[in-house]
Amino acid sequence: MKLFVGLGNPGSQYAGNRHNVGFMAVDEIARAHGFGPWKRKFQGIAADGELAGEKVLLLKPETYMNESGRSVGEAARFLKIAEEDIVVFYDEIDLAPGKLKVKTGGGNAGHNGLRSISAHLGNDYVRVRIGVGHPGVKELVARWVLNDFAKADQTWLVPLLDGIAKAAPRLAKGDQSRFLTDVAKELGDSGDPRKGKAQDAPAEEKAAERSAPKPRAHPAGERAGKSANAIAENLKKWLAARKP
C-alpha cells in the first residue's frame, strides 16, 4: 500500500495559500481517480483508492503544518507502510512557480512540515516539490507562503495540478522519472506550465501555428473559468469545488 500525503493547514482561511498546494494536489488526485469518500482518520482527512493497481491512501493532516508528522506517523505505523512507499506533496520556495521536482530523502530545507515528518518517521520518503517561488528576502517567506496564490498564478497552477493528478499512477508504481515526463507532456514539451510548446519550435513551425486555428483550451484551464472578469475568483471557486 502507498501513502500519498498533501501538506497544508486546515481551515477555509488557509485554503488558497501557497503553503496549501500539497492539499490541492491530493484533492485533484482524488477527483481525477475517483477516490473517496473522505473520512476523518489518523488526525487528518483520508480517502482510499487505487492507482495503477496499487492501493493508495490519500491523507491531508489536520494537525497544522508544523505537526504534520503526528498524522503521517500514525497512518504509516497503523497501516505498516514503509518510508519508501510514502509520497509527500508540498510547497517549495526554492523552485520557481510552476516547476516540479521529485526526490527520495535529502534535507528538509527549512520546511517545517517535512521536518516534522522526518522526526516521526525518518528521512527516506519521496518528496514531490511543487515550486511556489520565493519572495526575495528571508523575512518575507512566512507571509509569502501563508498568503493566497495571486490571480495570475492560476494560468500555471491549475494545469500543473491537473498534470500531477493524471501522472500520479507513475508515482504509485515508484517511477519518478516517468511521472515527471508525463507531467511535462501534459504541460508542453518545456515542462513549464507557463510556457507553450512552440517556444523552441523552428521558425516555420511557429509560422504554421500562428496561421492555424487556435486549439481548444486546456481542460484544466476551462475548469478555471472562461471569463476574464471572473479570474480573481477562479482559484477560490476551483478550491471550493474540491472540498471533501
Q: Grid coordinates in use for 145? A: 507562503
Q: How far apart, in Å, are the Cα atoms of 106 and each of 47, 83, 126, 193?
A: 28, 13, 9, 26
Question: Cell triple for residue 240?
Answer: 471550493
- Measured distance CA(241)–CA(18) in Å, rounded: 18
Coil, strand or helix: which one is 148?
Answer: strand
User: How far is the CA of 166 from the CAs of 12, 94, 163, 215, in angstroms?
Assistant: 26, 25, 5, 21
19, 33, 111, 218: the catalytic one is 19
Q: Is 19 a catalytic residue?
A: yes
Residues forming the active site: 19
